[in-house]
Amino acid sequence: MISIISTILGFIVVFAYRPWVIENSINDSNLHEFLPSFFYTLGFSLFGAWLMAKNPIGIIVSISCGSLVYEVEQIWSHRIFDYMDVIAIIIGFIVAVAIVKLTNITQFSTSHN
């Protein structure tokens, strides 16, 4: 459930909040720029951990590393690289690992396999 909510929040930030902030020249300390990286990393990591509950931390590491590679790749593809996105991805990774550790997600492995 947290994974779905987090991913939806990422979409809301990208498609509703970010345009609203830019259109109204609101100073939100650039939250609109890096919140999607946090929410997407958290959401997709937790969803992957739920799907592959036998190795949730490995899945979270893989998804987070993929997000970092995508972000760093933007340096060479002439897109917009932002170190705050890297920090947001790392925080999303830490929160996802904490949630898995606190909820012992492996207990759900038999419910969907």
7-23 per-position pLDDT tens digit: 999 999 999 999 999 99
pLDDT band at 109 (very low <50, low <70, confident <90, very high): very low
Span 38-42, average pLDDT? 95
pLDDT at 45: 94
For residue 45, what are its two tokens? Answer: 């990591």
pLDDT at 111 over 60: no
27 φ, ψ to 5°? -90, 105
CA distance 76 to 85: 16
Length of the chain: 113
pLDDT at 106 over 80: no
State how many domains the chain has: 1
42-77 per-position pLDDT tens digit: 999 999 998 887 889 999 999 999 999 999 999 898
Please give the residue range of the domain that contains residue 95. Answer: 2-112
Query: Which residues lie closer than 8 Å to 67 by C-beta, 6 or more apart?
Result: 37, 40, 41, 44, 89, 92
Overall pTM surpassing 0.75 (yes/no): yes
